Amino acid sequence: MSMKKAIGVTLLAAAVSTSLVSAASAATTTKAAAVQVQQSTFAINYQASTIRTVKQSGETLVAVRDIAAALNAKLSVHNGITTVALDGHTVDLKAGDKKITVDGNAVNLSQPVKSVNGTAFIAVRPLVQGLGGTLATSGGQIAINTIKLLAGAENPRFVRAGQILVSVPAGESRTEYLIDAKTGKSSELLKTTDASDLIVAPNGAKAAYTDSTGAVYVIDLATKQSAQVSADTSIKAELVWAADSSLLYFLQGDKGTVIAQLDPANGTIKTILDDKVDYKSSLNVSPDGKKFTYVVTALGKVTSDATNVDEDKVSIDFAGTGGQVYLVDVSVEKPAAVKLTTTSDDKLFLQSADGSAAYYVSVPEGDGNASVVAVDKDAKASALFGEGDVLEIALSGGKLYVLTQVSDSATAVYEVDPASGAKTKLYDLSGDVSGFIANGSEIAVENGGQVYARIGDQWKPITK
């Protein structure tokens, strides 16, 4: 199953004339030197900002000081020259001049810089573009954006509503960033050379990870401070938080044999299940911490030709190694894993909310489309979703979200009710989309190194 990454998204690219004035301009005006100064509302980095504006020869000029303040740009005045600096860009201007200097290069203006009661006014476009920003219209307002999108991001995970965690690899190191899904604004969280993926707790307040020695750390996502919660050096794969964010579960050992529990408060590790069965994966834990669903994968059968000692002819037969789904209830007196499936298909993206049922992407051994299969605690399996060639699923808020390839040129995201099987198509997307995440009804998708979030009725790139 190919996992392409692309999305057909049309980005807003409206040409905004510098003569536009916000529709939300207030009626209050003040007269200064025969010039009417208006209070206008602009959308600056997705925040409403009041900006003083004036009209000159039919063109709207904006107060340099107001724009600089709204952008958190540095403004200084020396020998009559006003300098605005932001993110490595500088704009120098002087009242009465019909040109400005942008990063050392002269740029002509259609109207000279105007001084009104000691405040410099200039056409908005050359000022904003000189600072590396863009202009558009949004909701009838002039929209200015100077937020720099993060490049090379991968592995998006929702932290909470409106916030996404991503990783940016660089050589042997990796940096984790938090991104505001509405604005694309990012902040560095953690830089590491040997940490596992960060696993976000359900409360969105912290994340856990291991280092190369097996030690476990928890990072506070608000303070960005990490603390070691276990120095135990055993291998710990697939960290999973308890529903109340108090405990961690994981697969212990180099073959994922043991299901174990870690209490981050005191570092205590407790064995939950040690049935000597190796190669467990896709661990899911019920909210009460009593039921565990997972996949056990069999090894391929190795054969060799011993007739010629001079040649090492080894073959591996992977038939029937697609893995099987198991359920164990540790609340009973003698817990024993129950095998829920016996089919030879690959079982990917296993999801289970409470152990009463599990859902997975079924990929057939031969040709054929992948589909979503449900299996209950009594090992009764049923087809749940079969539209197109299913790429990935996510269980969130009691709903199953499905990304499926409906043709070579199109994918789609569906919402499926696991109880009734009712399905609703949410979005039609490009055929290159293959990765997505869900947080309730919030959806974000991946596109060749970019992450797009659904904001209102549009897909918005939040990385580049």
Classify strands 59-63 and 74-78 as parallel, antiparallel or unpaired. Answer: unpaired
Contact 452, 444 (CB under 8 A): yes
Residue 310 binned pLDDT confidence (cut-offs 50, 70, 90): low
CB atoms within 10 A of CB 249: 22
pLDDT digits (tens, 9 = 90+) for 92-110: 999 999 999 999 999 999 9
Task: Return the pLDDT at 28.
Answer: 35
Structure tokens at 109: 């203006």
Q: What are phi and psi of 167, to 5 degrees?
A: -115, 140
Task: Return the pLDDT at 58.
Answer: 85
Task: Return the pLDDT at 279.
Answer: 97
pLDDT digits (tens, 9 = 90+) for 337-373: 999 999 999 999 999 999 999 999 999 998 999 999 9
Task: Return the pLDDT at 312.
Answer: 58
Q: How far are the Cα atoms of 37, 71, 340 from residue 113, in angstroms, in the given order?
A: 15, 20, 75
Give 463's contacts (C-beta < 8 A, 6+ positions apart). 149, 150, 151, 152, 153, 166, 179, 184, 186, 449, 450, 451
Structure tokens at 389: 């060639």
Is the pLDDT at 25 greater than 60? The verdict is no
Please give the mean pLDDT across all residues of the chain.
Answer: 89
Is the pLDDT at 3 greater than 60? The verdict is no
Is the pLDDT at 6 greater than 50? The verdict is no
Contact 292, 327 (CB under 8 A): yes
Alpha-carbon distance 135 to 281, whole Å?
A: 48
Q: How far are the Cα atoms of 158, 238, 253, 283 from residue 250, in angstroms, in the given order?
A: 20, 5, 10, 8
Is the pLDDT at 464 greater than 70? The verdict is yes
pLDDT digits (tens, 9 = 90+) for 30-74: 444 467 999 999 999 988 999 999 998 888 899 999 999 999 999
Task: Return the pLDDT at 32.
Answer: 42
Long-range contacts of 419-423 (CB under 8 A, 24+ apart): 421/384, 421/385, 423/385, 423/387
Q: How far are the Cα atoms of 101, 109, 200 from residue 82, in angstroms, in the given order?
A: 11, 16, 46
Is the pLDDT at 309 greater than 70? The verdict is no
Length of the chain: 464
Q: Mean pLDDT throughout 319-336?
A: 88
Alpha-carbon distance 116 to 279, whole Å?
A: 74
Alpha-carbon distance 68 to 133, whole Å?
A: 12
Is the pLDDT at 316 greater than 60? The verdict is no
CB atoms within 10 A of CB 31: 8
* DSSP for 378-403, written as a single string: T--EEEEE-SSEEEEEEEETTEEEEE
Share of the chain above pLDDT 90, in %: 81
Contact 154, 138 (CB under 8 A): no
Task: Return the pLDDT at 345.
Answer: 96
Is the pLDDT at 23 greater than 80? The verdict is no
Is the pLDDT at 259 greater than 80? The verdict is yes
Task: Return the pLDDT at 8.
Answer: 35
Q: Quick one: residue 140, left, alpha or beta (phi over 0 = left, psi -120 to 50 = alpha)?
A: left
Is the pLDDT at 124 greater than 60? The verdict is yes
- DSSP symbol at 287: T
Is the pLDDT at 27 greater than 80? The verdict is no
Task: Return the pLDDT at 311.
Answer: 57
* DSSP for 293-344, written as a single string: EEEE-PPPEEEE-TT-TTS--EEEE-TT-S-EEEEEETTSSS---EE----S
Is the pLDDT at 314 greater than 80? The verdict is no
Task: Return the pLDDT at 366.
Answer: 87
Task: Return the pLDDT at 306.
Answer: 55
Is the pLDDT at 13 greater than 50? The verdict is no
* DSSP for 122-174, written as a single string: EEHHHHHHHTT-EEEEETTEEEEE-PPPBSS-EEEEEEETTEEEEEEEETTEE
Contact 230, 215 (CB under 8 A): yes
Residue 298 binned pLDDT confidence (cut-offs 50, 70, 90): confident
What residue ranges define each of the domains in the chain, with the CATH number in brackets?
Answer: 29-145 (3.30.457.10)
Alpha-carbon distance 281 to 253, whole Å?
A: 12
Residue 141 binned pLDDT confidence (cut-offs 50, 70, 90): confident
pLDDT digits (tens, 9 = 90+) for 390-436: 999 999 999 999 999 999 999 999 999 999 999 999 999 998 898 99
